[in-house]
Amino acid sequence: MALTITIPRPDDWHVHLRDGEMLDAVIGYTSLRFRYAMVMPNLTTPIATTDQAVTYRNLINDATPPESPDFHPLMTLYCTDQLEVQDLLRGHKEEIVEAVKYYPAGATTNSQSGGSSMMDYSHIFESMQEHGIPLLVHAESTNPNIDIYDREAAFLEQELQDICNNFPEMKITVEHISTSAGVDFVNAYETLGASVTPHHLSRNRSDMISPAFHADLFCKPVINSENDRQTLVSTVTSGNPSFFLGTDSAPHPTKAKYGKEAKAGIFNAAYGLEVVAEIFASEDKIDQLPAFTSENGAAFYGYEPSEEQLVLTREQVEIEVATHLSTQSGKEVVLFGTEEASHWTIKAKTD
């Protein structure tokens, strides 16, 4: 017997759309599923000014297929030395800039323009707190002496805790949360939220490294232990309003993923919703799916849920699904979540 649920059209509160031919190749996967998409600013040239955000938004809109008329990219600025407070305030007032993203320098793809200490940007955070501009944080220590699986917890304790205490009214999102320590940290502060990815909910570190290293599951922060995964699952399926979907979908060509140094990032925009639905169904918590995908994040950022709806149906039989996409020049990107997607169909509800 098929399982069916209708949900408001979801929002993706953390996504990498890239630019150039990669943007052209991936934008439809996000725009056809999601209403709002919080677009990350870590291009090769960081998006650090309002004018750059406008230019990038125009590129995204131009690449968006006509079948997605109600898709809205929400732009963010990179917290870097080039970020100017007055320009940020102008961009936010003109409803161009939604939030600011902080990267620790060297933590992930195109993070070399990030910071070595969050408190270096306290003058920016003061204005953000005053004007209600959210801060998005890649919470991961870059100290090589800290075990890679402990770097989220270390960053929260050594960096973000001070920011939360010094700016108690600033709205902060801990991005792509990956550990039990992260869940506890978010729950300790009323002004904090957390985006959670399909891959951190559905995979553990054994999936990534055993019996061999699977580059397609390498991301930052890394996928962590089974205990951490179970904590994330129990948290999001409980309906806790501080936790919401952010795919962190991050496409890399297979040449970059399978090279000498695997690029960090998983492309899950195609089937991320199916992966999440499968988790909620397996936990017998499918009734909590709309909160995680469509309601909690919208409320955190000050929006109403979408009036459009999607119908998700889990079929007993397997459905054939694509495993790769190709850019115009022939670069291939692996699609995450094909196993889960083979059991789900997703369609827009029509009255």
Residues carrying an active site annotation: 248
What's the CA gap between 109 and 53, in Å, rounded? 19
SS3 29: helix
CB 340 within 8 A of CB 315: no
6-25 CB burial, b ≥16 within 10 A, e <16:
ebbbbbbbbbbbbeeebbbb
Residue 325 has which token pair?
């996409």
Instruction: State the DSSP code for 298.
Output: H
> In 10 A of CB 262, how many CB atoms?
17
Q: How far is CA 30 from the centre of its chain?
A: 12
**Please, are residues 249 and 15 in contact by the beta-carbon 8 Å criterion?**
yes
> Is-contact 340 281, C-beta < 8 A?
no
Q: Residue 282: CB partners within 8 Å, gap ≥ 6? A: none
